[in-house]
Amino acid sequence: MHNPHPALTPFQIAAESTSGRVAFVFAYRFAQRFNCRGKFQSLVRIYEYAELACAIIAARQADVIVVREFSTFYFALFAPFLIPWLPKTVLINAHNVQAANTSVLQRLLLNCICRFGTWLGCLEDAEGGRSILARRLQRRAICLPHPVPERNEPWKARPSPEAGDLVVGLVGDFRPEKGGIDFLYVLSDAIRRLPFDVKVEIGKNGRVEIPELPVRVSPRDTSDEKAYRRFLASIHVLIVPYPAASYRYRASGILSDACSCGTPVLATALPCFERQVNTPERGGICLAEESLRNPELVAEALAAIRADYARFCAGVAANAASRTLGRIQQALEKLRETVTTAK
């Protein structure tokens, strides 16, 4: 069955370990799996959420029902039929809050769903959820940690960059709204300002057009899961320059994957990103979006990470330890206490 967000699988595993006290359900996304389009896609999506509604009802004996990855529109169609179970239902959201920040209809629907009694489980930062809810509903937005995958295989230790080349990498989706290609020009200018050598590597899953740049860029195939992990474990710094317009209220699975590989990051200073990177310790540098367009400030950030690399790696390790499966189990237990106490 299609798993919409495997990065959140630790929540499912942790829920299953609670012996029925916490149930974990999600929409199966048949429409995406079978590549449906047009009106047929809408009909299949309705069927998906009919199944999701049945799954919530089937889990009615649990103290808490956690729903991973939901569509505000389609969930709202079935919410009235689920009112008896909504007070103990937690909707893990990310895209929804992002969309509600610009869509009046999305905002209205999320407020209606929460008025029925549902909780919004916001990854890493709950302020985005609270910002789109009416004042008396804001307490229904709660913060959950984004899991960091546990390392299943040992990798060769990367050489320290403090006396040699600094290897920086970008990976993931290179759609224009992610800002990765545009950032390469800024990065090229920043590298020319540095007194040490920098190698740039790009992890590619499929075809990515790399523009002509004044610095050499090495492509790496990361379409395979193991190759992707090896890539993250081999670079010194991962750069995630996502713009606020598309990521302001969203956490990043790539940041968590880098954390599991012990890799410091340079990322946009967005609320969820800053918590992922700097909580409980400093595992990288977050720059404001306009600063990431300034080659001089990018160069300073890379130099700072290289100069104190061991400390940043220690911060990454501490951040990973705070988001292991055991910590996710603790978070779900705390969530259960919050929900049951509020009834």
- Per the DSSP assignment, residues forming a β-bridge with 204 are 221
User: Do 16 and 95 belong to one domain?
Assistant: yes
Indicate whether 42 and 108 sit together in one domain: yes
Q: What is the per-residue pLDDT for 208? A: 65
Q: Which CATH number does the domain housing residue 185 bear? A: 3.40.50.2000
**Could you tell me if 179 and 312 lie in one domain?**
yes
pLDDT of the residue at 256? 95
Q: Can you give the pLDDT at residue 212?
A: 77
Are both 336 and 270 inside the same structural domain? no
Helix locations, 116-175, DSSP H: 127-131
Is the pLDDT at 2 greater than 60, yes or no? Answer: no
Does residue 160 fall inside a structural domain?
Answer: no
Residues 92 and 188 in one domain: no
State residue 34's pLDDT score: 58
Q: Examine residue 10 and state whether it is found in any structural domain, yes or no.
A: yes
Both 179 and 310 in a single domain? yes
Q: Which has the minimum average pLDDT: 155-159, 236-240, 276-280?
A: 155-159
157 within some domain: no
pLDDT digits (tens, 9 = 90+) for 29-72: 655 555 655 667 778 888 889 989 999 999 999 999 999 878 89
Instruction: Mark whether 79 and 14 lie in a shared domain.
Output: yes
One domain for residues 108 and 187: no
- Kindly state whether residues 125 and 43 are assigned to the same domain: yes
Task: Indicate whether 171 and 141 sit together in one domain.
Answer: no
Angle at the Cα of 94 from the Cα atoms of 55 and 46, rounded to 5 degrees: 40
Give the pLDDT confidence score for residue 109 in this predicted structure: 96
pLDDT of residue 175: 67
Task: Give the model's confidence band at 1: pLDDT under 50 very low, under 70 low, under 90 confident, else very high.
Answer: very low
Position 332 in a domain: yes
| CA triple 233-237-241, angle to 5 deg | 120
Instruction: List strands edge to edge, sheet with 265-268.
Output: 217-221, 198-204, 166-171, 237-240, 265-268, 284-287
Does one domain contain both 28 and 133? yes
pLDDT score at 197 = 93
In this structure, the answer to whether residues 244 and 280 fall within a common structural domain is yes
52-61, 230-239, 241-250, range with the lowest pLDDT: 241-250
* Statement: residue 343 has pLDDT above 70: no
pLDDT at position 33 is: 56
User: What are the Cα distances from residue 36, in Å, to 29, 41, 76, 180?
Assistant: 10, 5, 21, 29
- 156 in a domain, yes or no? no
pLDDT at 166: 95
- Is 139 within the bounds of a domain? yes
User: Tell me: the pLDDT tens digits for 116-152?
Assistant: 999 999 999 999 999 999 999 999 999 999 999 887 7
Rounded CA-CA distance 259/232 in Å is 9
Total structural domains within the chain: 2
Look at 26 and 295; give whichever has higher pLDDT.
295
Mean per-residue pLDDT for 175-184? 74
- Looking at the predicted structure, is the pLDDT value of residue 219 above 80? yes
Domain with 122 in it = 6-147+324-342
The answer to whether residue 80 sits within a structural domain is: yes
Residue 220 has pLDDT above 80, yes or no: yes
Does 77 reside within a domain? Answer: yes
